[in-house]
Structure 1
Amino acid sequence: MIMWAKLRQQLWQWRGVLIAAPSVAALLIGLRSAGLLQGLELAALDQFFRLRSKESVDSRIVIVGINEADIQKAGHWPLSDAKLAKLLETLKQQQPRAIGLDLYRDLPVEPGHQELIKVFASTPNLIGIQKVVGNSYGLAVNPPPTLSKFGQVGANDFVVDTDGKIRRSLLTLKDKSGKTIPSLATRLALTYLETKGIKLEIIDETKQKYKLGKATFTPFNAHDGGYFFADAGGYQILSNFRNLRQGFRTLSMTDVLQGRVPVNSVRDRIVLIGVTGESVRDSFYTPYSSRQVSQAATSFAGVEIHADVVSQILSAALEGRPLIKVWSEPMEWLWIFGWAVVGATLSWIRRYRDGVTQRSPLTVVSIFFAGGGLVYGNYLAFLQGWWIPVVPPVLALAGSTIAISSYVAYTATGMRQTFGRYLTDEVVANLLETPEGLQLGGEKRKVTILMSDLRGFSALSERVSSETAVEVINFYLEVMTEVISDYHGTINEIMGDGILVMFGAPIAREDDSQRAIACAIAMQLAMDKVNNKAQQMNLPSLDMGIGINTGEVLVGNIGSKKRAKYTVMGSPVNLAARIESYTVGGQILVSKDTLKEVGSIVRVDETLQIQPKGFQEPITVYEIGGIGGEFNLFVPKKEEVLVVLSQAIPVQYTVLQGKYMGEKVFQGTLVKLSTGSAQICSEYPVELLSNLKMNLVTGMEKARGLGDIYAKVVEISADSPTNFCVRFTGIPAEVAALLYYLRDSSSN
């Protein structure tokens, strides 16, 4: 059960990755299988070709090109059989290993046809061409009859992709009769390799797997690499073009015929004869055919492409140079899925911080570097002969990132907007981010409880309209909520004008108690902003008292299945409320446990002994005036100057028992006054920190039209227990005006 619970929690915590990664991967695999990504994938492959550094020219191959100047000098096209026979005889004298004639000669081109037939018959290493398959570039063309009789013919067909580029090479193909015809490049390469004792070996005839020297050939399939249902007819391989950009050593036909080429320039080499002149239009596009701005794409002569395929085969067979290989489809699917997981994970792990949705630049940077690493890694693999999909995983990386962002926004924004009005962001995050977040239950945890209460608001609300009272309290709560949020407090409950705040739940930090005290001081300082608002509304100033306690409580979702609340329970919460009840306006009282947690960075202005309800022995509380360290916040000390009244003012008062008035009414007189305090002489003693309700008396009768005064006993005279000082906690405006007049008159 424990293992299952942990597994459920892990699955819930990673739900975004478990949803986004498979969904995005499945979508991209579907798009790829539908061929919608083929163009992008082929463009990426072309870019890898163009980024690859140039290689040295393959000295085993020489091209005899019939350029535009040669055609013009000949005066007509095609070349006469006599001129072609002379060209072949001249080349034969230098003893090349093989000669490839990339010119059609299925019909005689007079004059000199008989001479050409004699050259064909006397040159066993000469390979002619035929066009086996008709396509948009021309109809099928028969081979030279003489060369066909001796089996010295190769196909010069090319496989052209839908974008007009050649990326695959034909090694063999079948004609209409079903006969297998080797390509021109294959016949030339095999002829050259036979002179070195290397012959083609069959490894697996069923799978058409062959060995040639150090190379192993496997046929191209319709879904290899980035292709989708490509034409896989014949025996094709992916072209690893290596010499097109730097070209091959090329001799012009005129130079060869006139003997202007170096001696032995073609000895022991493969010679390809073909047209390079533009007017014949025997040119094709390849991965190197990039289109520049305002320029046409670069094309390559057919003879150059044949020469490059020959070079690929020779390098693979003799040097073990890798041919382009691909992964199986399941492997490619796993590759795409893996990068979807990477993108989803990088986005998911940083979606929240302290309960708040993050759009962290670090996430963007990490995704960017992951994508860069993916592309660079694929390029390095390409240099080693592997074509690994790059576009689908890049899209999977980006798509899963977008999916996670959308999922978080979709599932969390509405809930945060709703719950955020009642709970803090951290509590909402706790509900959203744990599978048990909405389940009933709790845990014991040490937290610091802050309890605040607004003095004088109840009396104020009785004398103003409900709209005005609501406006004042909403502004007060808005200011306090902002302060509490700045110090990472969790507002557990708002009780009228009172606020219960937790530090340490749902997220515990090492400095919870310090932040609680710093928050309390910041709240007291923020009362200036609240009172400025009250002054603008012609209302009296308000004060706030704060009590703080630290202890182990039960925290979690408490309630029933129909109604529950994330809250704290325990005696430390009750004690925080008791401590708060002993405060006067502008005062912060903390327990001994809290002071011990905070250490010496606080300023203690006064030490008090109180007897909270339910406690057998008095406890010590401390009035806090400030906190140093990184917070550096202090409450200004208010000097209360008591003025001796020229005439004592009779008062009557009752002692409040909690929220209720005592039954007995006591008599006394105000003998001294300050802005917020007074000294009273009474018939009967009172207890320190007692709450009083007082009224001014005229002729032993209650002064009509004047409201009630609320005060707290803050000091008892050492000389007489019936003489004590009080701090006003609530005083009507008309009474405050009268007391101000009496105090001012007495001071003057």
Structure 2
Amino acid sequence: MGSTILFLIIAIFVARFSWDTPLIQEAERALYDLRASVFAPAVETEDRIVMIVYDEETLKLTGQRSPVDRTILAQALESIDSAKPKAIGIDILFTMPQDDDELLLSTFEKMETPTYLAYADPEETPEIGFAEFTFLEQFHEKAKTETVKPTDIQLNIDSDGVQRRWTPHPEGLPPFLALAMTGPNPKFAANDGAIRYLVPQTLELPVFDKFPIEGFADPATKDFLLSFIQDKYVLIGGDFIDRDRFDTPLGSLRDETSDGNLIGLEVHAHMLAQLLNDDMPEQVPLWTLWAAAIVVAICGGLSAMIVGNAAKVGVILLGQFGFFLIFPFVLQNMGIDTLSLPAFGWGLGWLLGYASVGSATRTLNSKQRAFAQSALGKYLPKSIASEILRDPEKLALHGEKRKIFAVFTDLEGFTKLTHAIEPEMVATLLNDYLDRLSEVALEYGGTIDKFVGDALVSFWGAPIAYPDDGERAARAAYALYLAGEEFRKNVPEGVPPIGRTRVGLHYGDAIVGNFGGEGRIQYTALGDAMNTAARLEAANKTLETKVLISREAMERSGLDWYRPMGRITLRGRATPVEVFEPVPDWEDRDRAAVMAVIAAHEKGDKSSIQDLSTMIQQYGDDLGLANLLKRLEKTETGESYALG
């Protein structure tokens, strides 16, 4: 009875909080995306909204990519203003000075149409530096008139990278773009509902008309185009293949030409259309979600008690599952916001309720299985844990020598940060951070060894080795750094800036197994591989890199996204180590160029090392590359650089 009640309680919580539960959350998102796509309103071209864009042809015409040409914007705005649209929204951040700024500011002074300029909060947009934000503030101050005002354009995606919902609006910022252009609407005041994306009725007609901006700046074509924007809402922004694009619930379910990937300007257009349609889906009350969770768990438990022939039981069970599958689609079609509806959670809660009653007295009588279920699930990926459950002998209960890929991480400056904030906040931040890193390690098939303060220690190759351990370990190392960057972006307001996550990866020998005695054991790894990985992680600080991978690990990863970072002698290790850093966003020729510079330096030829200066300028603030340049300048023939 006790186990039954416990499982029923778990079933209720799963059915209620599936949207907040890892893995289950992904299923909920997939089902919601299916519902949102199937029942997305189909429309002919939305004739109240027009998009005017800088595209690749515009960039070729102006010869300027970033920032975009402002002369053509000034000329286009003058023409657009003369057509008397309802409002103009400009989704372009003016963060850098240009020679034609005065021309654009002069145009703003003459604008008669309500015009809203993109503004960004630096806390919500960390890619904007202090100098850029300062210029943005100054530019807005100069541009502001009775008709030209700032507007918030921030779009916050879900953790899986999909734009499903309106972005909650921070206090103190200008009004959100769609609301600024149309005026306040009580239904949208919280900015927290689902976006109702529109889809075209036919493939021939788009949802929104879109014109290149140069057409409105060209005297030969502007008069013809102005008729398309009169008395309409005009959105101006970029349409580039590599910037400001968002995945949405709209996939290829409706037609083969749509992949659900939209430019940011088009996301704003959908939100503006939703606001004009006064179409904010009705929220499901919280008490209803709790009531439904309780009902499905009880129904699952009662279903396990049904007696009768198989056909009768089958009909009842299929009928309940059919309800869980169809009912959320019915609600979506009725205009109910199912973004927080636990459709998958209901089915899973039902199953847990069914299992709780049907298996209340069942116990685990295998010691090895009990050990695996209680321990492995917390430290091993699902696939490895499943294999061990099927064959417990694969988990060695003693030490054995193995070749492994060891990964160490460290959060820069976190110890110092703990002295500046409250202990409760330290615990919250640390748990969130380690959760993120643990998810990454397990996602790529790693074994979590331990947590040491803010550091995560993990390895690949034990207790079960796979042929692609090297690739998964290397990808995980870089993904751990990215997870740390994502964590930095989402710290609560008032917390001082948090440093980068540094990662070290090495391949070598280790002794792996359970250590600590019969009473308190831990599955861990000891030896050279672990020590070297830890020192590589620490070397990031001196080399000003983010992820350092030894040649031994690099050669076994099967990846070609590395640049060499020279030869170093680690503290406490006599043999030099050749280290590499993953740079997946680099061109192949640039990675090869760095390799050629190092190869030439090893032969005593230092004439080419200044070529690195060009790359430093090309890739911006690349501290690791600048550090490599300094080290090569201080050495003569590729000798190892000793770290203190």
**Interval containing the TM-score (normalised by the shorter chain):** 0.3 to 0.5
Q: Which has the higher strand share?
A: 1
TM-score (norm 1): 0.41
TM-score (norm 2): 0.48
Q: Which has the higher helix share?
A: 2
Larger Rg: 1
